[in-house]
Amino acid sequence: MEGVVFDLKESFEVMKTVGVSPQTIIASGGGAKSRLWMQIMADIFNEPIQISGQSEQACFGAALVAGIGAGMYKNYRDAAALVPAPLETVDPGAGNTELYAALYERFKQVYAKTKDT
């Protein structure tokens, strides 16, 4: 579970290097149903994780983008107004963030040495 979230964190960091700075992390789908997994994600990201009230978040988002293209919504802000409020927010746990920060650095080192394999 941690390896999957470490990989997501790496993608998140790449987004930041190209100028994309997400202000909110929203989880949806099967993984979002696991409180343990959401706690691990909050701890590794050291950010609150909002659990979506929309069961098919990716499909819903694609439909909203299509609606913008079709002229149903003026812009992303208007379309985003249809996104339901999160069901709950999972905050990082005290003490876990430091442990995961060290393990994340190890994860990146191991990945760099084995990615060609």
30-42, pLDDT tens digit by residue?
A: 889 999 999 999 9
Element (H, E) at 25: strand 25-27
For the chain, what percent of residues have pLDDT higher than 70? 100
Dihedral of CA 64/45/20/114: which sign?
negative
User: CATH second-level architecture of 1-52+87-109?
Assistant: 2-Layer Sandwich (3.30)
**Residue pLDDT, tens place only, 25-83:** 989 888 899 999 999 999 999 999 999 888 777 888 899 999 999 999 999 889 988 88
